[in-house]
Amino acid sequence: MPRELQIQVAPEVAAQQPLLVNHIAKLMQVKPEEIRHVAIIKRSIDARQKAIKINLKVAVYWNEDYIETKAQLPDYKDVSNKQEVIIIGAGPAGLFAALQLIELGLKPIVLERGKDVQERRRDLKAINRDHIVGEDSNYCYGEGGAGTYSDGKLYTRSKKRGDVDRILELFVGFGASEEILVEAHPHIGTNKLPKIIKSMREKIIEFGGKVLFDTRVVDILVKNSEVEGVVTQNGDTINASKIILATGHSARDIFELLDRKKIFIEAKPFALGVRAEHPQALIDSIQYSCDYNTGRGEFLPPAPYSIVKQVNGRGMYSFCMCPGGVIAPCATSPGEVVTNGWSPSKRDQETANSGIVVELKLEDFKPFAKHGALAGMEFQKAIEQKAWHLAGETQRVPAQRMVDFTQSKVSADIPKTSYVPGTTSVELGQVFPGFITQVLRQGFVDFGKSMRGYLTNEAILHAPESRTSSPVRIPRDNFTYEHLQIKGLYPCGEGAGYAGGIISAAIDGEKCAIKCAESLA
């Protein structure tokens, strides 16, 4: 059996196998040539001191052969003639639900309003270059969901590590780097995810499932409080007694459909704010205590950051931080602007960005109370539409230098940022309700005290970062996972309020598929 060790080493040692072997040989008091292989099990960075260290959990093969193993996909069986289950949405919740159903001997019918990963690229180009928002195909809608072209972070705070490891291993089986099994904060990258998502879709089809693109659901058929199927925008009816609803956090038309049909939903608190962009070299210098100009060196990755403050009784925190990344336009309808961030797999862009958001409460939505369960959604929508108007009624976004924002001063100029459609200099206090503006202004001052150098006019704020999570929860039974009123309807993933990222959505998709199969057994 290999010997497992927990060690802490310099970055250059962690990055170079010969140096790592020599280091471990000294620890074990053996000759380096007696160590046949060192396998890294887990890796994280300790940047609390000026001398940066890498924490490693390793398996040392000492006088023992190392046999490399590859992540294996489950033994899927053909389900072409099995009972059908409709899945609405081909994001991580929907795709992993489909794969799990196949494992369990059921036939998934995946309905995706958007296009496949290749076709989506054209619509993303249209948003960035021509300011044209496709309502069914954009950064949020389409094969793979919002995460496909907005980063691909695989970090989750879920306590169920077994489930997390299974999801990561499935990603590797479909083509992701094995590094995601090792890193404390795994990340695939927007440039790598499309090929992996395509492989998942091909596997679903290979074993008898269906994946239908450009298929937007406009009605859910219910009789005697049980689902019977769906109607698509083309007027087609697809029948099934089980529906997994995995539409994501931006499918406002689905929320409106449920509300119109008196299918119980409820407003849910979320968070909203701006997306802040700094030079990556500046974040490196803060986090790694290195020189701004000479940089972090070749053995350290671009530095991330995570920060949380309490301001005026509200949480203000960094969200979806993207080292070496860019800011993207994520509107889902004309007449609104929305920002998000992503990083390529190498995280090699010159800028770092992060959502900086403020915790909202249900009472904040009182001005929209007439919308009932959709009050939070309408609150969110109003800010996005106001930002669109203030920035010039294109996909340009309102922007302001960070120090200027804290001083309520319109920035004289906004330098070119990574946000391709462009920016308009706006005093961001005009975008948000006063209580959000107050928290953000004080919060950035507090951030600057915790991260010396963070509060700077080199940082550009883009508004709004508003799609942090669903503004609606679709309640379900804690045991069966079915909707509280409608038998056979399984609210799932981020859109239903039960996930907050790729991994947690994938886990929830699998859980819903298992519960669905149990009810059919």
- 448 and 313 share a domain? yes
List the beta strands (DSSP E) in 217-297.
217-223, 226-232, 237-239, 243-245, 266-267, 271-279
Model confidence band, residue 64 (pLDDT cutoffs 50, 70, 90):
confident
CATH number of the domain encompassing residue 107: 3.50.50.60
For residues 486 and 299, give the distance between their C-alpha atoms in angstroms, rounded to a whole number: 54
Are both 248 and 391 inside the same structural domain? no
Whole-number pLDDT of residue 161: 43
pLDDT at 319 over 60: yes
Closest CA to 325 of 279, 356, 272: 279
**Are 256 and 280 in the same domain?**
no
Q: Is residue 321 part of a domain?
A: yes
Whether the Cβ atoms of residue 257 and residue 271 lie closer than 8 Å to each other = no
What distance in Å separates the CA atoms of residue 446 and residue 190, rounded to the nearest whole number? 32
At 81-113, the pLDDT tens digits run: 999 999 999 999 999 999 999 999 999 999 999
Summarize pLDDT for 488-505 with one digit per residue, the tens: 999 999 999 999 889 999
Asked whether residue 429 falls in the same domain as residue 516, the answer is no
Residue 72 lies in a domain: no
* Dihedral pair phi/psi, residue 25, rounded to 5°: -60, -40
Across the range 315-331, mean pLDDT stands at: 95
In a domain, 195, yes or no: yes
Query: Do residue 244 and residue 298 come from a single domain?
Result: no
The pLDDT tens digits for 197-220 are 999 999 999 999 999 999 999 999
pTM of the complete model beyond 0.85: yes
Tens-digit pLDDT profile for residues 1-30: 899 999 999 999 999 999 999 999 999 999
Q: Do 400 and 504 belong together in one domain?
A: no
Residue 2 backbone class (left: φ over 0; alpha: ψ -120 to 50; beta: rest)? beta
Percent of the chain with pLDDT over 70: 98
Specify the number of domains making up the chain: 3
What's the chain's average pLDDT?
Answer: 95
Residue 461, domain member (yes or no): yes
Flag whether 450 is in a domain.
yes
Spell out the residues 6+ positions from residue 189 whose beta carbon is closer than 8 angstroms to its own.
151, 152, 343, 344, 345, 346, 347
Last residue of a domain, one of 421, 437, 465: 465
Its domain, for residue 56, covers 3-61
How much is the average pLDDT of 325-348?
94
Domain match, 408 and 488 both: no
**What was the pLDDT predicted at 191?**
81
In single-letter form, the type of residue at position 399 comes to A
Q: Report the candidate in 235, 220, 332 with the shortest Cα–Cα distance to residue 265.
A: 220
Shared domain check, 180 and 57? no
The answer to whether residues 341 and 453 belong to one domain is yes
Residue 48 sits in a domain whose CATH number is 3.30.30
All residues at 6 or more sequence positions from 343 whose CB lies less than 8 Å from its CB, including other chains? 151, 187, 189, 190, 322, 323, 324, 325, 326, 349
The reply to whether 26 and 48 lie within a common domain is yes
49 shares its domain with 162: no
Confidence of residue 150 (pLDDT cuts 50, 70, 90): low
257 & 144 share domain? yes
